[in-house]
Amino acid sequence: MRSPYISEIEAQSSIIVVSFQTELSRFGDASLGDLTAGVNRRRERPRAFRAVTPMAENNSAAAAAAENLPEHVVGDWYSAPDLRLRDHRFSVPLDYSADRRNSSKISIFAREVVSVGKEEQPLPYLLYLQGGPGFECPRPTEASGWIQRACEEFRVVLMDQRGTGLSTSLTSSSMSQLKTAKDLADYIKYFRADNIVNDAEFIRIRLVPDAGSWTVLGQSYGGFCAATYLSFAQEGLKQVLLTGGIPPIGNECTADVVYRACFEQVKLQNEKYYKRYPQDIKIVQEVVNYLSEFEKGGVDLPSGGILTPKSLQVLGLSCLGSSAGFERLHYMFEIVWDPLIVPGAPKQISYNFLDAFEKSISFNTNPLYALLHEAIYCQGASSQWSANKIRAVYESEFDAIMAARERRPVLFTGEMIFPWMFDEIHALKKFKDTAHILAEKKDWPPLYNIKALNNNKVPVAAAVYYEDMYVNFKLAMETASQIAGIRLWITNEYMHSGLRDSGSQVFDYLMGMLKGKKPLF
């Protein structure tokens, strides 16, 4: 049955619906509210391309300070199975709004990837924008998935977004160079989508012949960045592909709206998980009861943090919303208890489980995600720990200790960052004050220009995952109605990880939409 809501969207954009098995009407008529036009900002075009300097064999350029690098350093071609790759490093301003001569510089790393034998062919360029925020691009080990498919017709550019990977990475250790919490907050404020797009434009003008336009593929948060690109720099775009990455675009802070919607989807994911693995209901209850009996509220983690009932629930972030996530979570709880080798020995959580927990949440290696997560929803307003505020509304359902004592299923949380994480997770403790400063920051610049999106001329195709836990379906559809000419593929065949799980099929379907191979319904 087709919902009137979908019919309304179809009147404004072309939509393809496949693999669709669940009625839309259960989402109701909740709205993002008034979507007023964003501020249209002019972008200063980067300076003309300077001479390219070959990269030294010993990779010493990577270790050099970005302040001393030329604008563009390019390496020699090297190989992975069925692929040829070469590295590019660009020295870009930290703050594009400042005088270029006085602005601090950071380094942006991008890896160019082609199929073997196509190094010199005049192929069009495709920029991949990774999900996150705060995660580096994939490192190709062979020709497979969407990269293999894209390399059939593109030069693929894998750009580590500023602050990640080899792009002046903001790691737990590197951020310690900034001496105060305020200094770090003032630095991190330049690492959102607006400046990621500025970096992309800086690179495009220096990399693409004649500063031509390129195709952009945005996965998850990378899709948010692509929407910012469409808002402020359409001249750089030939076409855009979005996979699970249509953002809410309302003014001020949309995080509250996002989390209200996401908590509902998270509850549904929990229901599905326990329906698949009903035996885990009792196991998780036992773990919560065990943790709550400790005077300090939990047990020590290998890195020095503490596992409490609340932090146990954070496993839902990586396990409830992606393909095979339910299985990963179940198999973790299979090893939660140490075996009793000595009769009468006390019961205890196994080291293997504690280690798997820390690896699952990724904060040790990617702390920028936790620091910037709510800020990606802010335009001219502060988040004020939005997820924590909205969780309070659902606390009767998400109180792990109460659920375990009442023998109800303990619900895991989703893609949400809470202030107590900066007390309990060792990798985040030193950034507690910075996190609070960022949560109170009000003067975030605009990320979207609704007028520009309404007048969009760039071909856009988007995969919208109906049961997406990370990017809410209904909110994505509301934004889609504001992007002129967008074509949507709505499916519940894939989860948020569709590009990773079935990349060649997803990529091929979206390209088919842009090339007119898929009919309009």
Say if 33 falls within a structural domain. Answer: no
Instruction: State mean pLDDT over 100-106.
Output: 84
Same domain, 113 and 208: yes
Average pLDDT over residues 213-232: 98
pLDDT of residue 68: 64
The reported pLDDT for the residue numbered 252 is 83
Q: 16-20, 304-308, 428-432, 491-495: which range is least confident on average?
A: 16-20
CB-based burial, 322-342: b 16+ in 10 Å, e otherwise: beebbeebbebbeebbeeeee
Q: Which residue has better confidence, 349 or 69?
A: 349
Query: What pLDDT sits at residue 362?
Result: 85
Tell me the pTM. Answer: 0.87
Mean predicted confidence (pLDDT) in 75-83: 97
Look at residue 110 in the predicted model and tell me its pLDDT: 98
Which of 40-54, 324-338, 440-454, 468-482 has the lowest average pLDDT? 40-54
237 and 284 share one domain:
no
Whether residue 203 is contained in a domain is answered as yes
Residue 19, token pair as written in the block? 């693999």
> What pLDDT was estimated at residue 23?
30
Q: What is the pLDDT of residue 67?
A: 55
| Domain endpoint, select from 440, 455, 477 | 440
Whether residues 133 and 173 share a domain: the answer is yes
Q: Select the more confidently predicted residue: 323 or 165.
A: 165
Q: Same structural domain for residues 465 and 481? A: yes
215 has pLDDT over 90: yes
**Domain membership flag for residue 52:** no
Strand-pairing partners, residue 73, are: 53, 89
Q: How confident is the model at residue 253 (pLDDT cuts 50, 70, 90)?
A: confident
Between the alpha carbon of residue 215 and those of residues 97, 109, 218, 231, 304, the distances in Å are 26, 18, 10, 15, 44
Residues 501 and 428 placed together within one structural domain of the fold: no
Q: Judge if 463 and 319 occupy the same domain.
A: no
Do the Cβ atoms of 227 and 137 come closer than 8 Å? no
Residues 272/256, Cβ–Cβ less than 8 Å: no
Regarding whether 312 and 180 lie in a shared domain, the answer is no
What pLDDT does residue 251 have?
Answer: 84
- Check whether residue 297 and residue 316 sit in a common domain: yes
Does residue 32 have a pLDDT over 60? no
Q: What band does 4 get if pLDDT is binned at 50, 70 and 90? A: very low
Share above pLDDT 90 across residues of the chain, in percent, rounded to a whole number: 82
Give me the CATH number covering residue 154.
Answer: 3.40.50.1820
What pLDDT does residue 519 have? Answer: 59
Kindly state the percentage of the chain with pLDDT values over 70: 86
Last residue of a domain, one of 440, 466, 484: 440
Which pLDDT does position 520 carry in this prediction?
A: 53
pLDDT of residue 46: 38
pLDDT at 457 over 50: yes
Name the residue range of residue 351's domain. 258-440
CA 4/CA 11 separation, integer angstroms: 11
Domain boundary among 386, 417, 440: 440
The span from the CA of 389 to the CA of 366, in Å, is 24
Mean pLDDT to the nearest integer, 129-137: 96
pLDDT digits (tens, 9 = 90+) for 395-413: 999 999 999 999 999 999 9
Residue 38 pLDDT > 80: no
Does the pLDDT value for residue 294 go beyond 90? yes
Average pLDDT over residues 258-284: 96
| β-strand partners of 489 | 16, 463
Query: Is there a domain that residue 386 lies in?
Result: yes
> Residue 487: what are its φ and ψ, rounded to 5°?
-115, 130
pLDDT of residue 17: 44
Count of domains forming the chain: 2
Q: Kindly report the average pLDDT of the chain as a whole number.
A: 88
Residue 69 has pLDDT above 70, yes or no: no
Residue 366 lies in a domain: yes
CA–CA separation, 466 vs 3, rounded Å? 14
> Do 211 and 325 lie in a common domain?
no
Overall average pLDDT of the 443-459 stretch: 97
Give domain status of residue 12, yes or no. Answer: no
Are residue 87 and residue 143 in the same domain, yes or no?
yes
CB atoms near residue 360 (< 10 Å): 17
Instruction: Indicate if 331 and 429 belong to the same structural domain.
Output: yes
85 near 55, Cβ under 8 Å?
A: no
Amino acid identity, position 356: A
- Residues known to be catalytic: 220, 443, 496
Same domain assignment for residues 329 and 407: yes
